């Protein structure tokens, strides 16, 4: 196992009705809250009113309307509000986008200058307001990690910041808030979670057996419950297992002792930057194809292990087991209604060359990925996805 | 899944040479350290000198000679030292006993009265000195949890205190420090770890699939590496996987969403209180026997699941699979050289009745265990262990 540090200060409150704890916990930080949220779904579901009822003794400012792929302009807007209204803490009520923009606001509010400065020079992030979370979409794991992605609309850059200052102080994860999630979003969250685990699982170091076994546990959980949660939106067992799976998938536990770069995410990021594609749709198209592309005498053993442990493939021959495992991944994604080719989502080959260059330029694919990929490899993977 | 909270502030520094970080981290808390350790093993191994060399700029007081099953008198001694020398923090260099006594000293030092008061009325624990850990035996998980067991020599009581104040602030977990552990202690640590996971795994709620799957991952890790670490003491892969397994086994991750009382530990605690028995030896004798005793139409499905997932048992029939699983547990313990009967360790049936009463009196066995056990049940289990 590689050396690692592990320290997650976030206080997770998981389960039905946990929002009741919020007032007592947030009082520690002051009285003035900036509440960040997305569209109208929390108003429709009644959560908006619930937050106000629980936090009736606080002064709440609002920053609504956060969209998927949150933008720098929202960060600036939030930071300005924080300074103007002397905000003590930020409350993110939503999924990954809302949490990420809240995290960015939390440091931008404590910085005297344009928010983008902090992305260009991370050493300038010295302070942040506390961020609390009420989770309404489980997918990104941002409720229990210290990363936050933001897009600069002007420069078209999508960058991540990652510092211990950004761990939420508390995250309320109530699986019953997921009951109103439409099947498509449920599927997308499950695919995102599965992909997060696979990215950490398929990395060079195979001495971290325990980490791999824990990863298999989380992948099995996603596979067991994703379709069920789509079919029975109010199945608490399915929702709660998926919700905790998505948190554990990206809270650092499944990467300890390993190390290396992710493989599919960096390729997908470029595709969804060029096309208006849901992240999980891109992942669904690319993941099995990437697996087929990297399958070799070197990788067949690990992919076969994955197939056996995660999908219960019985085949003794490693190559055949690996191939069956890839089929199983395809079958699982298909069962969730995810597309498997670019043509299904209206993407042709015109940008393959450009996107392949970009994927290599912006990632560790060619040097630190499970199987090192160059531009030509990425282009071939794109071709296989046609 | 049951509701839960999850928050572990301990900063884990895992891997070779991580002790180098200690000076910079401990500086935050002051200059005056009470170093708590056990027998002479850290002097023999060179770790004692390493600590002094790393912490050369600190003032170090010492409390050596902590024995297994740490005693209240050591706590009093340490607390007095802390007050007299104005100690800023405690450094535990050792395994579970050393860490637990350090945790007790940390609150006793901040309390104006006898240390045992805090055990009789936990609400009196209001403050604690920071505790840092350099782990030399992996077994109890105390390096990343908030519990600490202590024995009152006068009243013969062995009680646990558990409060968030007792999370170590930092724990250095360097698997190479385990190289000098004799095979017997390696085996004992592995058995202790396996038992911790099994206690949490065999509990009433089976809707927490993810927690059970994560538990299976940790159990598989212990089974994979325990014998290897005994046979090849300097096998880093084995040592590191076992070390992290023992930490994860009892850091709360494997109990979330479940709930209920432990089954074998409370029985074993009484046995080792009456006889001078290594905890893991008692667990080895009692665990398979307890499994046989509770195997029924109700439990066979879960025990069969355990057998299939953890030991790879292929049997389709649940009862047969469960029985094979129990055999596998016996086989595993036997492979580590652990005894399987009381007679092997010189325990006769003279105290069975008394011990059975005591086990029921001091535990949740009769009301909250996986299978509720009364005094007669415990006595029967003892008889089966003869």
pLDDT tens-digit map of B165-212? 999 999 999 999 999 999 999 999 999 999 999 999 999 888 999 999
CA distance B180 to B186: 10
Residue A14 has pLDDT above 80, yes or no: yes
Residues 6+ away with beta carbon under 8 Å from A38: A64, A65, A66, A67, A94, A95, A97, A98
Q: Please identify, among A177, A210, A237, the residue that sits at the C-terminal boundary of a domain.
A: A177
B87 and B191 share a domain?
A: no
Question: CA-nearest residue of chain B to A10?
Answer: B7
SS (H, E, C) A137-178: CCCCCHHHCCEEEEEECCCCEEEEEECHHHCCCEEEECHHHH
- Provide the shortest C-alpha distance from residue B100 to chain A (in Å): 21
CA distance B152 to A265: 56
pLDDT confidence of residue A40 = 84
Residue A5 has pLDDT above 80, yes or no: yes
Give the H/E segment covering residue B11. Answer: strand B4-14
- Closest Cβ opposite residue A217 in set B15, B213, B237: B213
Residue B156 has pLDDT above 80, yes or no: no
Contact A221 B209 (CB under 8 A): yes
Contact between residue A141 and residue A196 where contact means Cβ atoms under 8 Å apart: yes
Residue A6 lies in a domain: no
Residue B1 lies in a domain: no
Residue A157 has pLDDT above 80, yes or no: no
pLDDT confidence of residue B114 = 93
Higher pLDDT, A188 or B274: A188
Q: Two tokens at B196?
A: 């911790």
Residue A28 has pLDDT above 90, yes or no: yes
Using DSSP, state whether B58 is helix, strand or coil: coil
Residue A154 has pLDDT above 90, yes or no: no
List C-alpha distances in Å: A356 to A151, A199, A374: 20, 19, 8
Question: CA-nearest residue of chain A to B239?
Answer: A1
B111 and B244 share a domain?
A: no
Using DSSP, state whether B127 is helix, strand or coil: coil
Contact B1 A237 (CB under 8 A): yes
CA distance A62 to A77: 11
Measure the CA dihedral B61/B66/B70/B73, to 10°.
Answer: -60
Q: Please identify, among A137, A161, A177, the residue that sits at the C-terminal boundary of a domain.
A: A177
Residue A303 lies in a domain: yes
A59 and A90 share a domain?
A: yes
Using DSSP, state whether B34 is helix, strand or coil: strand
Chain A residues inside the 8 Å CB shell of B316: none
- Closest Cβ opposite residue A7 in set B2, B12, B207: B12
Q: Give residue A53's Cα distance to chain centre.
A: 30
Mean pLDDT of B31-55: 96
Residue A118 lies in a domain: yes
Contact between residue A150 and residue A72 where contact means Cβ atoms under 8 Å apart: yes
Residue B60 has pLDDT above 80, yes or no: yes
> Number of CB pairs < 8 Å for A and B?
126
pLDDT confidence of residue A75 = 96
Q: Which residues in B have their CB inside 8 Å of a CB on A? A: 1-18, 175, 207-210, 213-214, 216-218, 220-221, 224-225, 236-237, 240-241, 244-245, 248, 253, 256-257
A79 and A224 share a domain?
A: no
Q: Which residues pair with B150 in a beta bridge?
A: B159
Contact B221 A241 (CB under 8 A): no
- Closest Cβ opposite residue A207 in set B237, B253, B257: B237
pLDDT confidence of residue B246 = 98
Contact B9 A7 (CB under 8 A): yes
Chain A residues inside the 8 Å CB shell of B248: 210, 214
Residue A159 has pLDDT above 90, yes or no: no
Question: CA-nearest residue of chain A to B225?
Answer: A209
Contact B7 A11 (CB under 8 A): yes
Chain A residues inside the 8 Å CB shell of B225: 209
A46 and A62 share a domain?
A: yes
- Closest Cβ opposite residue B220 in set A15, A213, A253: A213
The model carries a pTM of 0.97
Q: Two tokens at A174?
A: 């109530």
List C-alpha distances in Å: A173 to A135, A177, B74, B208, B257: 5, 8, 42, 15, 12
Radius of gyration over every alpha carbon of chain B, rounded to an integer in angstroms? 21
CATH code: domain of residue B65: 3.40.50.1970
Q: What is the DSSP string of B194-245?
A: HHHHHHHHSSS----HHHHHHHHHHHHHHHHHHHHHHH-TT-HHHHHHHHHH
Residue A168 lies in a domain: yes
Q: Please identify, among B177, B207, B236, the residue that sits at the C-terminal boundary of a domain.
A: B177
B105 and B161 share a domain?
A: yes
Number of domains present in the structure of chain A: 2
Chain A residues inside the 8 Å CB shell of B216: 213, 217
B207 and B344 share a domain?
A: yes
- Closest Cβ opposite residue A5 in set B12, B17, B244: B12
Looking at chain A, how many residues does it have? Answer: 386
Chain A residues inside the 8 Å CB shell of B16: 3
SS (H, E, C) B168-183: CCEEEECHHHHCCCCH
CA distance B370 to B348: 27
Contact B241 A210 (CB under 8 A): yes
In percent, the amount of chain B with pLDDT more than 70 equals 100
pLDDT confidence of residue B50 = 97
Q: What is the DSSP string of A16-34?
A: TTGGGGHHHHHGGG-SEEE
- Provide the shortest C-alpha distance from residue A242 to chain B (in Å): 8
**Residue A57 φ/ψ, nearest 5 degrees:** -90, 5
Residue A1 lies in a domain: no
A35 and A154 share a domain?
A: yes
pLDDT tens-digit map of B115-151? 999 988 989 999 999 999 999 999 999 999 999 988 8
Mean pLDDT of B55-63: 98
Mean pLDDT of B343-359: 96
Contact A214 B16 (CB under 8 A): no
B131 and B201 share a domain?
A: no
What is residue A261's DSSP assignment?
B
Contact between residue A24 and residue A270 where contact means Cβ atoms under 8 Å apart: no
A338 and A232 share a domain?
A: yes
pLDDT confidence of residue B273 = 82
- Closest Cβ opposite residue B240 in set A7, A253, A257: A257
- Provide the shortest C-alpha distance from residue B364 to chain A (in Å): 24
Contact between residue A217 and residue A306 where contact means Cβ atoms under 8 Å apart: no
Q: Two tokens at B253?
A: 């991750």
CATH code: domain of residue A235: 1.20.1090.10
Mean pLDDT of B266-271: 92
Q: Which residues of A337-364 are buried (b: 16+ CB within 10 A; e: fewer)?
A: ebbbebeebebeeeebeebbebbbeebe
By CB atoms closer than 10 A (0-12, 13-18, 19+), residue B279 is buried
pLDDT confidence of residue B68 = 84
By CB atoms closer than 10 A (0-12, 13-18, 19+), residue A371 is middle
B125 and B59 share a domain?
A: yes
In percent, the amount of chain B with pLDDT more than 90 equals 89
Chain A residues inside the 8 Å CB shell of B6: 11-12, 14
Using DSSP, state whether B307 is helix, strand or coil: helix
Chain B residues inside the 8 Å CB shell of A6: 11-12, 14
Contact between residue A329 and residue A288 where contact means Cβ atoms under 8 Å apart: yes
Contact between residue A50 and residue A275 where contact means Cβ atoms under 8 Å apart: no
Domain with B23 in it: 11-177
Residue B157 has pLDDT above 80, yes or no: no
Contact A221 B210 (CB under 8 A): yes
pLDDT tens-digit map of B62-115? 999 998 888 999 999 999 999 999 999 999 999 999 999 999 999 999 999 999
CA distance B96 to A269: 46
CA distance A285 to B33: 57
By CB atoms closer than 10 A (0-12, 13-18, 19+), residue A87 is buried
Mean pLDDT of A293-309: 97
- Provide the shortest C-alpha distance from residue B257 to chain A (in Å): 9
- Taking each continuous run of H as one helix and of E as one strand, the counts in chain A are 16, 8
Residue A226 lies in a domain: yes
A104 and A190 share a domain?
A: no
Q: What is the complex's ipTM, to 2 decimals?
A: 0.96
Q: Two tokens at B263?
A: 């089954």
Using DSSP, state whether B367 is helix, strand or coil: helix
Question: CA-nearest residue of chain B to A6?
Answer: B12
- Closest Cβ opposite residue A13 in set B5, B210, B248: B5
Residue A229 lies in a domain: yes
- In angstroms, the first-to-last Cα distance of chain A is 38
Higher pLDDT, B271 or B158: B271
Q: Two tokens at B277?
A: 């028995």
pLDDT confidence of residue B358 = 92
pLDDT confidence of residue A250 = 97
């Amino acid at each position: 196992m590689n050396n690692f540090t592990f320290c997650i200060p976030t206080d997770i409150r998981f389960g039905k009705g946990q929002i009741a704890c919020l007032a007592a916990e947030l009082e520690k930080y002051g009285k003035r809250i900036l509440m960040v949220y997305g569209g109208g779904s929390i108003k429709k579901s009644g959560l908006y009113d619930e937050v106000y009822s629980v936090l009736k003794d606080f002064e709440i400012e609002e920053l609504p309307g956060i969209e998927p792929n949150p933008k720098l302009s929202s960060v600036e807007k939030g930071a300005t509000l924080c300074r103007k209204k002397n905000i003590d803490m930020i409350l993110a009520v939503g999924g990954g986008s809302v949490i990420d923009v809240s995290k960015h606001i939390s440091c931008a509010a404590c910085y005297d200058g344009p928010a983008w400065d902090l992305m260009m020079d991370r050493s300038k992030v010295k302070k942040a307001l506390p961020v609390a979370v009420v989770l309404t979409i489980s997918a990104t794991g941002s409720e229990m990690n210290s990363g936050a992605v933001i897009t600069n609309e002007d420069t078209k850059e999508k960058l991540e910041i990652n510092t211990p200052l950004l761990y939420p102080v508390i995250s309320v994860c109530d699986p019953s808030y997921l009951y109103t999630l439409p099947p498509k979003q449920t599927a997308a969250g499950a695919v995102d979670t599965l992909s997060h685990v696979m990215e950490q699982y398929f990395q060079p170091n195979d001495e971290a057996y325990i980490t791999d076994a824990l990863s298999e546990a989380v992948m099995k959980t996603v596979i067991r419950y994703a379709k069920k949660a789509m079919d029975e939106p109010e199945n608490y067992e399915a929702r709660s297992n998926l919700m905790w799976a998505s948190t554990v998938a990206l809270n650092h536990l499944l990467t300890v002792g390993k190390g290396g770069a992710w493989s599919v995410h960096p390729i997908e990021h470029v595709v969804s930057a060029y096309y208006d594609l849901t992240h999980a749709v891109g992942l669904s198209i690319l993941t099995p194809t990437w697996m087929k592309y990297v399958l070799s005498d070197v990788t067949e053993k690990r992919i076969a292990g994955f197939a056996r442990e995660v999908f219960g493939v019985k085949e003794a021959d490693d190559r055949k087991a690996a191939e069956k495992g890839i089929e199983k991944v395809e079958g699982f994604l298909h069962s969730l209604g995810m597309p498997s080719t670019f043509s299904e989502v209206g993407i042709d080959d015109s940008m393959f060359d450009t996107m392949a260059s970009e994927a290599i330029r912006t990632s560790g694919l060619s040097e630190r990925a499970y199987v090192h990929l160059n531009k030509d490899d990425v282009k071939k993977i794109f071709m296989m996805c046609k």
